Amino acid sequence: MAPRICGTSTTLASLDACLQTSSYLAAHATRSFSLTCRNEKITKGRYEMVKWIKEKAMNNFDKNHPTYLGPHVDQPFPSNPLFRSQSVLSESMKNRIYTQVMDHGVAMKAVSEEMQVDVRRVAAVVRLKELENHWKLEGKKFATPYAKAVMKMLPQSKWAQGDMNIPHEPINDIPVHKLSMQQLFVPVSESRHFTREDAAKAFHEGLLSADKRSPQRELIEIERQAAEEGGDRATSIEEFRKEAQEAEEEYAAELARKSELEDAKIKKSRKGRFEFRIKRYNSETVGKYGRARDATGWRYGQALQDRKRGMVKIPTSVP
Amino acid sequence: MRKPKRFYSLNRPKVRQSWNKHNLYNLARMVGDQPPMNGMRTFFQQKWDAKARTRGYHGDHIPEKKWIRLFDRRLRSAVDMPPKYLALNDGSEQAAGRGSGLTTNQVSAENFWATAEVSNQFPDRVNHPRMRSASRLSKNTLLAQPLSNMTPYMQMTFAPLERRLDTAIFRALFASSVRQARQFVIHGAVKVNGKKMVHPSYQLNPGDMFQVDVEKVLYGTGQQKIPQESVRFKSRLEKAEEREEKAQAQLLKENSGEVESESAEEGSESAEGAKSATLSEDEQLALREQLLESLLVDVKMVLRDKTRMKLSAKDKSRLRVFRKSAAKFLARPEGSEIEADELIDELQTQMKSLNMYSYGKTRGEASEGAEEGEEVREPNEQQKQRINRALDIEGLDDKQKEMAIKVIGYEHLKKSELRNLADLLKQEAENPIDESKPYATPWRPRPFMSAFAFIPRYLEVNPNICAAVYLRHPVARKGLGEVPTPFPYFTSQLAHNWYLGRG
């Protein structure tokens, strides 16, 4: 779009350019009786923006693969090289994670170790896939065109069985503890064997060492066994998988038992459309004023505070 | 908070959380960059400026008071400690021998890292000339270089805002701006852990799953609807439907000599009903064949020039009309949806019963076979007549008719062609043209979306169902801050200093 000359909003230099490109002046000459100025004017800033978009952005950003502003290939914000667009799991990786966990019953920790994906991400992938399958059963419509377009625009991690794959993300991230963020000078004799354990103790008595705070503690043991003489990594990995599976099953059984116990405490009776659930409750546990934190419901004579001004009603968690 | 008057300014620009083209342009010309240090401004002025610029991007819709309450001086970070490193070293190697002046610090967790490193090579071409000067040896870049070897804690200043539901929706690419994401939440289109959540300021907890209504996401991220375009398409569709109706009516009229013309005008279906009593069985079969042939003319057009894989808008409108009239032909109740596979199956049985179905190869294969000695069957008079009549009804002149016959030929549809048709119908059903939608159909992503398309690692997104899980809080790690911010380290540092509130 060429700038329209109107008043003094353009400089003489840009006027030159306009004379060549704009047909407005010619059109204006034929309508010499019109003295009023065109209403739509374009400022220099806008002109430059439109020019940039037409020359650079139009061709560069409507592609079927990741394209960021740069200057680095994976850098979306030009002024911040410390933020990069990191790859997401490809559809095939997600499918494999789901089948491994749900169909083959492999423990999530084992899948995480095998595919080098964080355990929390493995769990989230399974949860989302499960929801997706539920939608399929219900016959709900997916956002397929959107998903296809988005996946084309994002860098993706690939994984193939048996290959030397580049890990998707570190699986043994250890969050930096608040207590260890201070600078500390501990005089130690040179002959002393000062380990991570000691360093943690130096910061605080209760602070655990990195080994103990690791989310994949068993893997450290495996690596230790493998490094020992006569150690075989493959067998210890196999053992780890078995143990992880057992631990997971145990945990699931424990959860089931707990919920069963909870259920047993509730007496249910069905009346037509309604189901009454009755649970024994000790009225002594509601506190001095009947407003203890975990006390139940509304009680006569006690005003509810939740409509009072300044009371925050935004939930802090959704179970 | 209300949207400021000049939200996307070109004179006094601010970077915003949005996919707008103004924002793209502002980002490209390094608006977020720290102004050159020349010692002319006081520390207070620098902090003020940094605060104002960063807040224009991070939660500009949140009142300052609320943000101050959210601000946390504790900045999260994480270190990747590979199990192998932890197994082989107990940490004593970091300090052993230091007292004797040895540097034994050569082994560290970093030596065991295996994840892909970020690229650090500058490309030859840049999107904006200002980016070139910034990417080379400017004062700010030189100062920032050692930062890539440390943990950029300051980039985590605005991390508490990333916990907010509306920001997370924007980061998961479900909305084109935070303000839009906020609106989605307020309008009740968002669920957290399966329950409706109407508070955009809800702080997500690690493990929370949020879902956004698919239609809202398609609206938010899709291209905007252009009124003229939809009018044009609508008129084209109406015309095509009208033509199809007329064609059917004409056929019926021709075939039922004794039935008065009025009944034909009333509509094809009633005419069919009225005349079925008067037509013999053979005539009825012939009529049905002709009806089907005229139905397939358009579809053949689409199928035969299917060298390109993408369907044009014209093709889509043809397929849509076909689907509608095919349902009518198969005597389905009006407005009932019919699956592509089912439709094709039924059509196939109809064609078999009418002897219109050829089991042979497709056209291309058939002509190859002809070279080997098989003769190509000349179309008989009846076929020619039939197709001519179908084209007549389409309202084509002689020249167009010639072209059309060249494209569609005289033969009936082959098995593989029917399969292709089913594929096409499915493709069309996946991303249909639908005037009732508030976005441009078929759905296309917003312009320049790919420049903004990234998903930070603290989210796991499933775009098929527009749901995502907030895995953990964002952290800083060596050379990488997980909070998506367009500002350099110094600006964030100044802003952080402002909110620390120490003079």
Per-residue model confidence (pLDDT) at position A71: 82
Contact A77 B486 (CB under 8 A): yes
Nearest to A149 among B83, B445, B469 (CB): B445
Nearest to B91 among A129, A151, A195 (CB): A195
| Residues A54, A78 within the same domain | no
d(CA B200, CA B178): 10
> What's chain A's average pLDDT?
85
Average pLDDT over residues B19-40: 88
Per-residue model confidence (pLDDT) at position B499: 96
Is A97 a residue whose pLDDT tops 50? yes
A78 cis-preceded (ω within 30 degrees of 0): no
| Residues A69, A142 within the same domain | yes
Flag the least confident range among A70-74, A143-147, B105-109, B334-338.
Answer: B334-338
pTM: 0.79
Q: Residue A122: which domain range?
A: 63-170
B246 touches chain A (CB under 8 A): no
Q: Is the dihedral of CA B316, B321, B326, B332 positive or negative?
A: positive
Per-residue model confidence (pLDDT) at position B445: 93
Polymer length in residues for chain B: 503
Average pLDDT over residues B302-324: 67
Contact B33 A193 (CB under 8 A): no
d(CA A290, CA A267): 25
| Residues A87, A144 within the same domain | yes
Cβ-Cβ contacts under 8 Å, B484 against chain A: 76-77, 83
In a domain, A70, yes or no: yes
Between B184 and B267, the more confident residue is B184
Per-residue model confidence (pLDDT) at position B267: 44
Is A314 a residue whose pLDDT tops 60? yes
- Could you give the dihedral angle defined by the CA atoms of residues A7, A8, A9 and A10, in that order, rounded to the nearest 10 degrees? 120
Cβ A215 vs Cβ B111: under 8 Å: no
Count of structural domains within chain A: 3
Average pLDDT over residues B94-101: 73
Contact A69 B24 (CB under 8 A): yes
**Could you give the percent of chain B with pLDDT greater than 90?**
40
Task: Quote the DSSP letter at residue B226.
Answer: P
Q: Residue B16 corresponds to which tokens in the numbers above?
A: 């915003």
Average pLDDT over residues A66-76: 87
Q: Residue B133 corresponds to which tokens in the numbers above?
A: 């000067």
Is A283 a residue whose pLDDT tops 60? yes
Flag the least confident range among A48-57, A72-81, A182-191, B282-291.
Answer: B282-291
B123 touches chain A (CB under 8 A): yes
Is B260 a residue whose pLDDT tops 60? no
Per-residue model confidence (pLDDT) at position B214: 97
**Could you give the percent of chain A with pLDDT greater than 90?**
59
Residue with tokens 């699986």: A171
* β strands within B362-466, DSSP E: 459-462
Contact B214 A141 (CB under 8 A): yes
In a domain, A316, yes or no: no
Nearest to B463 among A146, A175, A194 (CB): A146
CA of A315: which chain B residue's CA is closest?
Answer: B202
Distance (Å) from the alpha carbon of A31 to chain B's nearest alpha carbon:
30
Residue B469, classed as helix, strand or coil, is: strand
Per-residue model confidence (pLDDT) at position B366: 40
d(CA B106, CA B430): 57
Average pLDDT over residues A44-61: 89
Per-residue model confidence (pLDDT) at position B161: 97
Cβ-Cβ contacts under 8 Å, A45 against chain B: 10-11
**Which of A191-205, B162-176, B239-253 has the largest mean confidence?**
B162-176
d(CA B497, CA B490): 10
Per-residue model confidence (pLDDT) at position B183: 97
Nearest to B218 among A143, A151, A168 (CB): A143
Is B136 a residue whose pLDDT tops 80? no
B372 touches chain A (CB under 8 A): no
Between B105 and B393, the more confident residue is B105
Per-residue model confidence (pLDDT) at position A16: 47
Per-residue model confidence (pLDDT) at position B359: 52
Nearest to B88 among A85, A150, A227 (CB): A227
**Could you give the percent of chain A with pLDDT greater than 70?**
86
Contact A72 B486 (CB under 8 A): no
Distance (Å) from the alpha carbon of B378 to chain A's nearest alpha carbon:
44
Flag the least confident range among B146-155, B200-209, B344-353, B474-483.
Answer: B344-353
CA of B119: which chain A residue's CA is closest?
Answer: A72
Per-residue model confidence (pLDDT) at position B264: 41
Is B185 a residue whose pLDDT tops 90? yes
Flag the least confident range among A6-10, B55-59, B145-149, B460-464.
Answer: A6-10
Nearest to B463 among A73, A151, A317 (CB): A151
Flag the least confident range among A178-187, B264-273, B339-348.
Answer: B264-273
Which amino acid belongs to residue A241? R
Task: Residue window 176-235, chain B: list those with CB within 8 Å of chain A.
Answer: 192-193, 195, 197, 199, 201-203, 205-209, 211, 214, 217-218, 221-222
| Residues A227, A200 within the same domain | yes
Is A44 a residue whose pLDDT tops 50? yes
* Beta bridge partner(s), residue B468: B210, B461
Exposed e or buried b for every residue in B235-251, given b needs 16+ CB within 10 A? eebeebeebbeebbbbb
Residue with tokens 């690791």: A214
Is B244 a residue whose pLDDT tops 90? no
In a domain, A155, yes or no: yes
Per-residue model confidence (pLDDT) at position B108: 85
Between B108 and B212, the more confident residue is B212
| Residues A236, A249 within the same domain | yes
Contact A143 B465 (CB under 8 A): yes
How many Cβ pairs within 8 Å bridge chains A and B?
A: 314
Task: Quote the DSSP letter at residue B280.
Answer: -
CA of B146: which chain A residue's CA is closest?
Answer: A82
Cβ B24 vs Cβ B486: under 8 Å: no
Which amino acid belongs to residue A40? E
Element (H, E) at B468: strand B467-470
Task: Residue window 310-339, chain B: list those with CB within 8 Å of chain A.
Answer: none
Tens-digit pLDDT profile for residues B316-329: 777 777 777 777 77
Per-residue model confidence (pLDDT) at position B237: 76
Which amino acid belongs to residue A123? A
A199 pLDDT band, cuts 50/70/90, is very high
Long-range CB contacts for residues A130-139, cutoff 8 Å, separation at least 24: A130/A98, A130/A102, A131/B209, A131/B211, A131/B462, A131/B465, A131/B467, A132/B462, A132/B464, A132/B465, A135/B465
B258 pLDDT band, cuts 50/70/90, is very low
Tens-digit pLDDT profile for residues B446-478: 999 999 999 999 999 999 999 999 999 999 999
Cβ B29 vs Cβ B128: under 8 Å: yes
In a domain, A22, yes or no: yes
Number of H helices, E strands in chain B: 22, 8
B395 pLDDT band, cuts 50/70/90, is low
Contact B448 A52 (CB under 8 A): no
**A177 burial via Cβ count (<10 Å: 0-12, 13-18, 19+):** middle
Is A237 a residue whose pLDDT tops 60? yes
Per-residue model confidence (pLDDT) at position B129: 77
Is B350 a residue whose pLDDT tops 50? yes
Residue B361, classed as helix, strand or coil, is: coil
- Mutation choice for A interface testing from B16, B23, B86 by most A CBs within 10 A: B86
Per-residue model confidence (pLDDT) at position B327: 72
| Residues A81, A103 within the same domain | yes
Cβ-Cβ contacts under 8 Å, B471 against chain A: 118, 120-121, 124
Average pLDDT over residues A281-308: 75
Q: Residue A59 corresponds to which tokens in the numbers above?
A: 């061709």
d(CA A174, CA A211): 9
Between A160 and A295, the more confident residue is A160
Is A113 a residue whose pLDDT tops 70? yes
Cβ B35 vs Cβ B95: under 8 Å: no
In a domain, A115, yes or no: yes
CA of A124: which chain B residue's CA is closest?
Answer: B469
B21 touches chain A (CB under 8 A): yes
Residue B325, classed as helix, strand or coil, is: helix
Contact B457 A219 (CB under 8 A): no
CA of A77: which chain B residue's CA is closest?
Answer: B486
Cβ-Cβ contacts under 8 Å, B123 against chain A: 70-73
Task: Sketch out chain B's domains with CATH numbers.
Answer: 21-76+140-222+452-500 (3.10.290.10), 227-366+380-430 (no CATH)
- Mutation choice for B interface testing from A80, A128, A228 by most B CBs within 10 A: A80
In a domain, A3, yes or no: no
Per-residue model confidence (pLDDT) at position B453: 95
Between A155 and A3, the more confident residue is A155
CA of B473: which chain A residue's CA is closest?
Answer: A175
Which residues, other chains included, contact A66 with Cβ-Cβ below 8 Å and sequence gap of 6+? A74, A85, A153, A154, A155, B450, B453
B375 φ, ψ to 5°? -95, 145
| Residues A107, A162 within the same domain | yes
Q: Is the dihedral of CA B371, B375, B376, B378 positive or negative?
A: positive
In a domain, A283, yes or no: no
Q: Count the Cβ atoms, other than its own, within 10 Å of residue B221.
A: 26
Contact A318 B208 (CB under 8 A): yes
Residue with tokens 């950003």: A61
Cβ-Cβ contacts under 8 Å, B472 against chain A: 120
Cβ B170 vs Cβ B177: under 8 Å: yes
Contact A176 B88 (CB under 8 A): no
Q: Residue A33 corresponds to which tokens in the numbers above?
A: 């009786």
| Residues A164, A102 within the same domain | yes
Per-residue model confidence (pLDDT) at position B336: 61
d(CA B406, CA B414): 17
In a domain, A118, yes or no: yes
Is B360 a residue whose pLDDT tops 60? no
| Residues A40, A77 within the same domain | no
CA of B221: which chain A residue's CA is closest?
Answer: A146
Q: Count the Cβ atoms, other than its own, within 10 Å of residue B123.
A: 12
Tell me the three-class secondary structure of chain A, residue by residue: CCCCCCCCCCCHHHHHHHHHHCCHHHHHHHCCCCCCCCCCCCCHHHHHHHHHHHHHHHHHCCCCCCCCCCCCCCCCCCCCCCCCCCCEECHHHHHHHHHHHHHCCCCHHHHHHHHCCCHHHHHHHHHHHHHHHHHHHHCCCCCHHHHHHHHHHCCEECCCCCCCCCCCCCCCEEECCHHHHCCCCCCCCCCCCCCHHHHHHHHCCCCCCHHHHCCCHHHHHHHHHHHCCCCCHHHHHHHHHHHHHHHHHHHHHHHHHHHHHHHHHEEEEEECCEEEEEECCCHHHHCCCCCCCCCCCCCCCCCCCCCCCCCCCCCCCCC
Task: Residue window 51-110, chain B: list those with CB within 8 Å of chain A.
Answer: 74, 76-84, 86-88, 90-92, 95-96, 98-100
A292 pLDDT band, cuts 50/70/90, is confident
| Residues A229, A155 within the same domain | no
- Mutation choice for A interface testing from B21, B147, B465 by most A CBs within 10 A: B465
